[in-house]
Amino acid sequence: MNITTFSKTKILLQGKMLIFLCLSLAWSPIHAGEKTISTTKIDFLKLKIKGRVTSSKDRLPLPGATVTVKGTAIAALTDMDGNFEIAADSGDVLVFTSIGFKTKELLLNDQTKIAISLEEDSTSLEEVVVVGYGTKKKATLTGSVSELAGKEIVKSPQVNISNALAGRVSGVIANNRSGEPGYDDSSISIRGLATTGNNDVLVVVDGIPGQIGGLSRLSPQEIESITVLKDASAAIYGSRAANGVILVTTKKGKKNSKLNVSYNNDEGFASPTRLPNMAVAPTYATIRNEIAYYNNNAGGSNQIYTADQINKFRNGSDPINYPNTNWVKEGLKNMSTVSQHNLNIQGGSESTNYFVSLGKVAQEGLYVNGATKYSQYNVRTNIDSNINERLKVGVSLSGRKEDRQYPTTGAGDIFRSLYRAFPTSPGIYPNGLPSTGIENNNPLIQATDAGGLNTNPTYVFNGIARGSYDFGFLKGLSLDGFFSADISDSFSRSFYKPYTLYTYNSTSTNYDPTIVGGGPDQQAKLTEEQFNQSMLVSNIKLNYKHKFGEHSLEAFVAYEQSESKTHKFGASRIHFPTTETPELSQGGAAATDYNNWGSSYRFTRQSYFSRVAYNFQEKYLLDLQLRIDGSSNFPVGKQFGKFPSISAAYRISKEEWFKDNVSFFDDLKLRASWGQLGNDNTAQFQFYDNYTFNNRYVIGNTVTTGIDVVKLANAGITWEVATKLDLGINARFLKNFTTELIYFQQDRTHILTNRNASIPGTTGIVNPYGGDSLVPAENIGEVKSNGIEASLGYDHKGEEFSWGVSGNITYAKNKIVFIDEAPGVLDYQKQTGNPLNTYLLYNAIGIYKTQADLDKYPHVTGATLGDLIYEDHNGDGKITADDQVRSKYGNIPQIVFGLLADASYKNFDLSVVFSGQTQVSQYVLPESGTIGNYDSSWADNRWSPSNVNGSYPKVSERASSAVSGGLYKNNFWLKDASFIRLKNIQLGYTLPSDILKKTGISNFRIYLSGSNLFTLTKVKDYDPEGTSESGQFYPQLKIFNVGFNIQF
Amino acid sequence: MKNKIITKSIKSILCVALFGAMFTGCEKDFLNVQPTDRVSNASILNDQTLFEAYVINRYLGVKLTNKEGDSNQPGFGRTFEWAMWSSLTDESIYNNDDNTWLIQQGQLSPENLGIAGTLWGRSYRGIREVNYALNNIGKVPMSDSRKSLLTAELKFIRAFRYQDLIRNYGKVVLLGDKVSELGNDFSDPSLFDRRPIDECMTYVVNQLDEAATGLPTANSSDYGEGRATKGAALALKSRLLLYAASPLYNNDVSDTQKWAKAAAAAKAVMDLGIYSLYTGGYANLFTTAGSNSEYIFARFYNVSARHLPLEIANGPNGYSAWGGNLPLQNLVDDYEMADGTPFSWSNPTEASAPYDNRDPRFAATVIYNGLLYRGRNAEYFLPGGKDSSDGKDNWNTSKTGYNLRKFMRDDLPIDNPWDVGGQQNWIHFRYGEILLNYAEAQNEAVGPDASVYSAIHLIRARAGMPDFPAGLTKEQMRDRVRHERRIELAFEEHRFYDVRRWKIASVTENKPAQGIIVRKQTGGSFTYELKNAIPGRSFQNQHYWLPIPRSEIQASNNKLEQNPGY
């Protein structure tokens, strides 16, 4: 009996869904220019009121604004010219609302024609914010959520969105580590580090968690808003939300709006933020003599170069044999270009709206004659349509081509060569021939296409079909869902061509050629690799939304599943007879000339989740969320985790007694949230012993199939859990001030981390250097963090002059509660109890200037005059590893701050963003010695027998293994990486509309902007945002930009 | 029942709602993903081929630090890496330091181990992996004869790992067949129980006896070259017993019986009658592809499994090479004159042409000023020598005035050698060593009898050097055999252990690391001037054994005993 009933339901639903599916796939045509129909019947007893709604700022018509008669259900929408018609009585009050504008009320007298303009309201509490699986009115938010509008992001001339976030959003720490085109993503963390495990923030684009293609390469022009979920409100993303969630929403057309075409062009000029000044040739030649002298005192102080030779380096009389090469200057341009074009088309009819965006980016590298290039083409269409009153469907399609082109030598190696290469070696000989640089690495040539090219086009496709259906039988009950398919194809092709470098032979006066590059035997080599990724996500969600008097309820239950796959396939060939045939088929013929490799994986997730949001009069607010997530990373029985959250808010300013007594506040909200979030980001298949083939042992001249154990089992591996608590106050006071104050704390438990230090080597459980560890991740770590976020803003809106300033600061401190440490580790050297990422270093307390110093202080074997004095921390009269101490800070700042200012006067507008960080340290020891050049701060200030008051230690063969360098890693090389920098500035001018009137152009704006224009920091030679411990990285970019926007 | 049906129905509805059946939702085992790039322990133990593949890779070890295993996984010892083990001795220094100078300069400590920090961890990891195979071989579907062969092979590998431990650390922890697993009690005292050296030696030698019984005398098609034979097990036993009899292992007391055992062990290899000295020349022994009659056990390399290219790593700057492991004057001076007399700087003839008329092995081991190398004479001279600091890339100029010649294959390129070079085999045991083991042990056990002379003379004859004079005393013979070992086995990872076990390191390793300055006079003649190659060479008594890494002592909660003096 029951069975039949349910089967029927099933069939019915199946049918409905089939229709639904068909509708969502077969696209309904767009009816542009369709006339507006008011949503209510006109009551003939009432007056027919006609009117027009415009925006107060630009006097442009406001389509889609709602006009309601207060206290009734009578409402109308404005058409695309801002016109509306509504029936009302004299004495009625008309309420005008539009998203992003302040609500205005108008008492009707006898007028039947109305012209009204609405004021823009960016801080409006009516504003809707995107949250996980839905939207919320700002006023009813209970969690810690920051929002950044797309129009703010476009103010930055950076092509990579991740580089436009710093300073703008409190709680978000975005550090740009490199400016290399195509590889310039900032590392983003929310409220600092909270785990020893994976720290990746989950990026959700248009509702798709972890969409392939990510955040950074989206076009800024297609972004409507970015929302950051920083607290337990992210728990709706369950197993991936522990490190915070960034929600990106792309633009959509507005219903009932005219076709709007907007074209934008930016032309930028990029240069490095900062580069080290390297030692000049006479200085370096002297340093070489000093090193030789230290090695062999008996040989005297001119063992490598005579005074005469050094003089030749100085006076430039013999540029072939005694050059003075500034490699950095010869290798890098002063300016490189960044160009961006974008065309946005949007509009909508009553039933359908559309947004289409086309973009192009072209960026070149900093190298002189360099091969580095990044270009991008992107297209997006977002279309939403109401099929009928109940059924809505939408499709978002986005495609992108990211074209990366590099020389076959990587940026790290080129910069390594630039900084290592000796000023005493020529770069390019006066006759134009390139020298052999440093060990046959000439960065001036490496950066070009002489050694071949690496081209790396990546295609990203994101498709989303979504639909929603309102059930007729119960008001407020609806079903929605989406299906998304992401595909990314990345193809990499590297053709390594041999090329010739020269050495001048002073005896024969010939330039002796050396062929370098390419593959073996000075012949070309080709490597091709294809990397495919795909992800399918399906989601179905049942919603209920209802108002019972003053009680509002919004709830949903949902199911989601996703499947990710990757596949890599690569092949290479060597011994190409000619460089003219760069095809795999054209290489050498021997069996050993071929090579190939490949790998693939599949990963799945299943999720059940729900939210109930309740409020009373929008005064008392309560949100409950629960997500049950299953992941294929864990063994059966441990696959599912539960992630609950609760958050509540009390809008005290809604209380009558408060309103009456505290006029100071316009709005005051107290809120709190608690929740548990997960992190499942760990390697697959760690729940059993993993054995893989590793064919390296030669038996009888053949490489034989061998197997190694690469991972031991952790049968109980499961979720990392973040328990988050937030207490916050949001306020608007004295009309123009807004502030937010948050205290947050997080306890990260069951952190997936690899046991290493506590396992004695005699167990044989020994992790390899680099690569994957033998021990599996175990749920053993614990880190507690807490901090404060605060922001304060002031806004003044005037008729001609408007301005605003705001500041935000985030203080995030973490403390390791449990990390795997050896049981015998000394108390003061423990990581436990300290922040993450601190350094264990000797404390350098000076330089041995005299023999008396050497006698006075205990010192390590081999320490001599000119070396750093290390503190005998434990006072045992010897310098041993026991004397190392933990640094106070690591390389993730504990404090980040932003300072923003906006102003507009008549047709001018200005926007400024400063960002900064402090309580942060970075260790940088340059690769100097006979192995590489010195930066001038060291070279010019080095201790030497003739400069016993030098502030830097004496020079040596290799800094990395010197007593004053890497042999006893010490805090002389630890820099305070605090900085404040002008992250972004933009000055714009909008042409007055009366000038444009006859041109058909509705808006024209030109602007100048810049990024990283100046930086205040104590770090001398490198950009303080870099993390390279040798300082050898592609520098961050300073960009000057000029652009315009034209709208039709 | 009803509930179940409802649940099931709701599930079905949800499934359908998921945009139709085309998307594989709600599969029962949607979350159970099977890997395609790895197998489990169950597979290893159920498949003879997989199990044997696992056994084969036990000859390899894990990479534990930077600048090792660059092109291929490490095996036993150090072998062909950037800085070779020789650069921790009075054979050579490494031009680019790479954490070797700290050892030469007496800074070796539990926290500063340089290149000598990986043997502890790598050996014990290897031992665990071997033990896993030994414990489980019974379960593998495989013939009994194959099982006993593989068991013997595994025991040999484990013994080799113990050799790496014992000769570096002295007393070591003996684990038997123990296989530690995650979740075990890692404070178990048996993990930190360093046993007396004698006990360690006895254990390993017994293991080798067992291995020798099960191993074949020769390799075959289904047990190819590169896998241990009976000779390999006996050769390792010979080396270990020689060490066991040496002063360092016996508190400087000479135990004739131990020497006799060592001599017998070497003799056992000789008596196999299958090995003989290679007759194609000393230099070619190390460069010719494939094996020859002198090979007892080697790590083989080929174009598909290479080590780093030695020629660019070790050659002179004038050839666009990087210096690398630089022979010291200390070694150069020890090569005899061709007539068997010692070289002396105080002999004006010899001092004016120090490279002439030397032991032919000198030119096969060291590149010196004037040696014909790759089509031209090496030019270390100042001013203007191509391989001097006046030459190109002078930061790569040899600090000693010499470069390494041994192992270099002139048919492999210096420029761009990355997919070509690095094919030389590393010979772990060769017959030459066995003869020297025998001569040394036999001399200590019974004195310089005829068998001592004849073993040494085989070596001398192959090198083209005259016989030793008759009537040497035991002490004279001892010095000569030690000297012969230094010359014959240079750069083969013997010197480091020899100077320690003879307890002469406090002398040899405290001498300045010397090089040479060659000056070209007008008229073309050369003068020679000794110089310090690196400053502060120093050896202290604690350095007779390596320190156990500080991290290991800490992991044991200080229960693991550190070697004395650290």
CB contact under 8 A, B128 and A422: no
Phi-psi region for residue A300, left (φ > 0), alpha (ψ -120 to 50) or beta? left
Q: Say if CB A552 and CB A614 are below 8 A apart.
A: yes
- Give per-residue pLDDT as tens, A493-529: 999 999 999 999 888 899 999 899 998 888 999 999 9
Q: Is the pLDDT of residue A27 over 60?
A: no
SS3 content of chain B, % helix, strand, coil (to 5): 45, 10, 45
| B73 residue type, one letter | Q
Closest by CA position to B120, among listed B553, B563, B549: B549
At B118, is the secondary structure helix, strand, or coil?
A: coil
Query: A465 CB near a chain B CB, below 8 Å?
Result: yes
CA distance B463 to B245: 28
A764 interaction partners in chain B (CB closer than 8 Å): 124-129, 131, 175, 179-180
CA distance B516 to B398: 10
| A961 residue type, one letter | S
Strand A373-386 to A352-364 pairing:
antiparallel
| A298 residue type, one letter | A
Strand A113-118 to A47-55 pairing:
parallel
Q: Is the pLDDT of residue A23 over 50?
A: no
CA distance A642 to A630: 9
- Give per-residue pLDDT as tens, A807-823: 999 999 999 999 999 99
Q: Say if CB A969 and CB B112 are below 8 A apart.
A: no
Give just the sign of the alpha carbon dihedral A172, A741, A193, A1032.
positive
What are the backbone angles phi and psi of residue A116, rounded to the nearest 5°?
-135, 140
CA B126 to chain A, closest CA, distance in angstroms equals 7
| Confidence (pLDDT) at A124 | 55
User: Residues of chain B whose pLDDT is less than 70?
Assistant: 1-28
pLDDT exceeding 90 applies to what percent of chain A? 72
Q: Is the pLDDT of residue A38 over 70?
A: no
Tell me the average pLDDT of chain A.
Answer: 90
Q: What's the gap between Cα B544 and its chain centre?
A: 18
Cross-strand bridge partners of residue A106: A94
CA A25 to chain B, closest CA, distance in angstroms equals 11
| Confidence (pLDDT) at B502 | 96
CA distance B360 to A393: 88
CB contact under 8 A, A766 and B125: yes
Those residues whose C-beta lies under 8 Å from the C-beta of residue B222, and which sit 6 or more positions away, are none
CA distance A338 to A364: 7
CA distance A657 to A765: 68
A2 interaction partners in chain B (CB closer than 8 Å): 2, 5-6
Residue with tokens 């985030």: A810
Strand A172-176 to A640-651 pairing:
unpaired
pLDDT exceeding 70 applies to what percent of chain B? 95
- Give per-residue pLDDT as tens, A1009-1046: 999 999 999 988 889 988 888 889 999 999 999 999 99
SS (H, E, C) A857-885: CCCCCCCCCCCEEECCCCCCCCCCHHHCE
Which among B36, B63, B98 has the least Cβ separation from residue A600? B36
Closest residue in B to A595 (Cα–Cα): B304
CA distance A727 to A736: 24
CA distance A857 to A865: 12
CA distance B373 to B314: 13
Q: Is the pLDDT of residue A11 over 50?
A: no
CA B248 to chain A, closest CA, distance in angstroms equals 24
A961 interaction partners in chain B (CB closer than 8 Å): 97-99, 101-102
| Confidence (pLDDT) at B264 | 98
| Token digits of residue A846 | 């000076």
Average pLDDT (A628-635) is 94
Model-level pTM?
A: 0.87
Following DSSP, what letter does each residue of B205-274 receive, concatenated? HHHHHHHHHHS-SS-BTTB-BTB--HHHHHHHHHHHHHHHHSGGGGTT---HHHHHHHHHHHHHHHHT--
Residue A29 confidence class, pLDDT cut points 50, 70, 90: very low
DSSP structural state of residue B549: P
| Confidence (pLDDT) at A125 | 58
Cross-strand bridge partners of residue A540: A481, A559
CB contact under 8 A, B416 and A10: no
CA distance B380 to B403: 10
Residue A184 CB burial class (10 angstroms; 0-12, 13-18, ≥19): buried
| Confidence (pLDDT) at A45 | 58
- Give per-residue pLDDT as tens, B270-327: 999 999 999 999 999 999 999 999 999 999 999 889 999 999 999 999 998 999 999 9
SS (H, E, C) A334-370: CCEEEEEEEEEEEEECCCEEEEEEEEEEEEECCECCC
CA angle A1029, A1035, A1039 (to 5 degrees): 150
Residue A1 confidence class, pLDDT cut points 50, 70, 90: very low
Residue B152 CB burial class (10 angstroms; 0-12, 13-18, ≥19): buried
CB contact under 8 A, B554 and A823: yes
| Confidence (pLDDT) at A37 | 40
Those residues whose C-beta lies under 8 Å from the C-beta of residue B183, and which sit 6 or more positions away, are none
Q: Alpha carbon of B370 to those of A329, A492, B520: distances in Å?
A: 41, 48, 11
Average pLDDT (A958-985) is 94
Q: For residue B315, what is the enclosing H or E element?
A: none
| Confidence (pLDDT) at A380 | 97
Which among B35, B395, B560 has the least Cβ separation from residue A931? B395
Closest residue in B to A884 (Cα–Cα): B111
| Confidence (pLDDT) at B71 | 81
- Give per-residue pLDDT as tens, A464-477: 999 999 998 888 99
Q: Say if CB A666 and CB A738 are below 8 A apart.
A: no
Q: Is the pLDDT of residue A609 over 80?
A: yes
Q: Is the pLDDT of residue A44 over 70?
A: no
A766 interaction partners in chain B (CB closer than 8 Å): 62, 64, 121-122, 124-125
- Tell me which of A639, A762, A880, A964 to substitute to probe the interface with B (most B C-beta atoms closer than 10 Å): A762
Which among A17, A757, A764 has the least Cβ separation from residue B20? A17
B129 interaction partners in chain A (CB closer than 8 Å): 709, 764
CA A556 to chain B, closest CA, distance in angstroms equals 14
Those residues whose C-beta lies under 8 Å from the C-beta of residue A151, and which sit 6 or more positions away, are none
CA distance B252 to A140: 85
CA distance A283 to A295: 18
B392 interaction partners in chain A (CB closer than 8 Å): 436, 503
Following DSSP, what letter does each residue of A609-631 receive, concatenated? EEEEEEEETTTEEEEEEEEEEEE
- Give per-residue pLDDT as tens, A178-222: 899 999 999 999 998 888 888 899 999 999 999 999 999 999 999
| Confidence (pLDDT) at A717 | 94
- Give per-residue pLDDT as tens, A830-875: 999 999 999 999 999 999 998 999 999 999 888 999 999 999 999 9
Average pLDDT (A479-499) is 96
CA distance B342 to B350: 10
CB contact under 8 A, A439 and B226: no
CB contact under 8 A, B131 and A764: yes
Q: Name the A residues in 561-600 with CB < 8 Å from any B CB.
A: 561, 563, 574, 592, 599-600
| Confidence (pLDDT) at A123 | 53
The size of the A-B interface in CB pairs under 8 A is 351
HSE-CB for A262 with a 13 A CA cutoff:
18
Following DSSP, what letter does each residue of A757-802 receive, concatenated? TTS-GGGS--PPSSSS-SSPEEEEEEEEEEEEEEEEEEEE--SSEE
| B470 residue type, one letter | A
How many CB atoms lie under 10 A from the CB of residue A407? Answer: 26
What are the backbone angles phi and psi of residue A658, rounded to the nearest 5°?
-75, -45
Which among B5, B44, B305 has the least Cβ separation from residue A696? B305
CB contact under 8 A, B5 and A768: no
Query: A712 CB near a chain B CB, below 8 Å?
Result: yes
Q: At what angle do helices B256-271 and B230-245 cross, to 10 degrees?
A: 160
Q: Name the A residues in 301-360 with CB < 8 Å from any B CB.
A: 303-304
Strand A245-250 to A202-205 pairing:
parallel
| Confidence (pLDDT) at A57 | 64
CA distance A103 to A53: 12
ipTM of the complex: 0.91
Q: Going edge to edge, which strands form the sheet with A113-118? A: A83-88, A47-55, A113-118
B300 interaction partners in chain A (CB closer than 8 Å): 698-701
Q: Is the pLDDT of residue A31 over 80?
A: no
Radius of gyration from C-alpha coordinates of chain B: 27
Q: Say if CB B211 and CB B162 are below 8 A apart.
A: no
| Token digits of residue A865 | 């005059």
CB contact under 8 A, B56 and A706: yes
CB contact under 8 A, A21 and B20: yes
Cross-strand bridge partners of residue A622: A614, A648
CA B379 to chain A, closest CA, distance in angstroms equals 13
Average pLDDT (A250-268) is 92
CB contact under 8 A, B124 and A762: yes
CA distance B134 to A187: 47
CA distance B538 to B107: 8
| Token digits of residue A1014 | 């100046």
CB contact under 8 A, A764 and B124: yes
At A187, is the secondary structure helix, strand, or coil?
A: strand
CB contact under 8 A, B44 and A299: no
Q: Say if CB A372 and CB A179 are below 8 A apart.
A: no
